[in-house]
Amino acid sequence: MHGFMSTGSFELPNYYSCPSSREEADQEAKQSSFTELQKEEIEIFWNQQLFEIQNTTVAKAHHELPLARVKRVMKSDGQVKKVRSETPVLFSKACELFIMELTLRSWLHTERSNRRTLQHCDTARAIMQDELLHFLVHAVPFDHAHCHKEEEIGKISQNVDSRTTTGALRLRETNQLGRGYGRNESSASAIHD
């Protein structure tokens, strides 16, 4: 009778015994889904940039970053004596691509939080998520309390914006109904009766 009822055969599965593990599984699934979406978006971004670079026939006359400043930054290193003329152009393009990708990663975090305004915490999360960007952690630190506060403010302002927009639409519809815009007179009188 010593080993008659082993406890292992009567244990409930994990998802019944611990509700927080279900929540953790949901969070992991959301994170996995977000990671896959992010990979797809970044792959599309780089394919698009590669296509644009390959199909560019003439060097751009306008650069997003000022070439003189790029050259000055490059020469600020004591070991650099001369900089070839094409080097600042390439370096400028590399910086532009870096900024665009970081912005895309940040924007994906903004959308994940159901917001339409990019915030400091979105960029900090994007930096924390990718090991290649960890060199920026000190430049863009992640402050949990501040980021949570920014998210709450963003959600509140979105709710206010949506209520304001809805109210404005209702006011406009009411004004249009009163004037009979877009309908014949019989339908306007039916509404007012």
Q: What is the pLDDT along the chain (193 residues), one digit of tens a residue?
A: 454 444 444 454 444 445 567 777 777 777 788 888 899 999 999 999 999 888 887 666 677 888 999 999 999 988 988 889 889 989 999 999 999 999 999 999 999 999 999 999 999 999 999 999 999 999 988 887 667 665 565 555 555 444 444 444 444 444 444 444 444 444 444 444 4
What is the distance between the alpha carbons of residues 74 and 8, in angstroms, rounded to a whole number?
66
DSSP type of residue 140? S
- pLDDT of 116 reads 92
Statement to judge: residues 96 and 152 lie in one domain:
no
- Return the axis-axis angle of helices 86-112 and 19-54, rounded to nearest 10°: 150
- pLDDT of 182 reads 42
CATH code assigned at 83: 1.10.20.10
Domain count, the chain: 2
Burial (Cβ within 10 Å: 0-12, 13-18, ≥19) of residue 122: buried
- pLDDT of 20 reads 61
What is the distance between the alpha carbons of residues 119 and 151, in angstroms, rounded to a whole number?
8
- pLDDT of 184 reads 43
Final residue before a domain boundary, out of 95, 123, 139: 139
**What is the residue-wise DSSP string for 7-47?**
GGGGPPPHHHH-HHHHHHHHHHHHHHHHHHHHHHHHHHHHH
Q: What angle do CA 21, 24, 25 make, to 5 degrees?
A: 90
- pLDDT of 163 reads 46
- pLDDT of 169 reads 45
Which residue range forms the structural domain that includes residue 74? 33-139
List CB contacts of 180: < 8 A, sequence separation 6 or more.
188
Distance of alpha carbon 72 from the chain centroid? 32
Statement to judge: residues 192 and 108 lie in one domain:
no
- pLDDT of 76 reads 92
* 186 within some domain: yes
Can you give the pTM of this predicted structure?
0.60
- pLDDT of 118 reads 93
Statement to judge: residues 147 and 135 lie in one domain:
no
- pLDDT of 115 reads 92
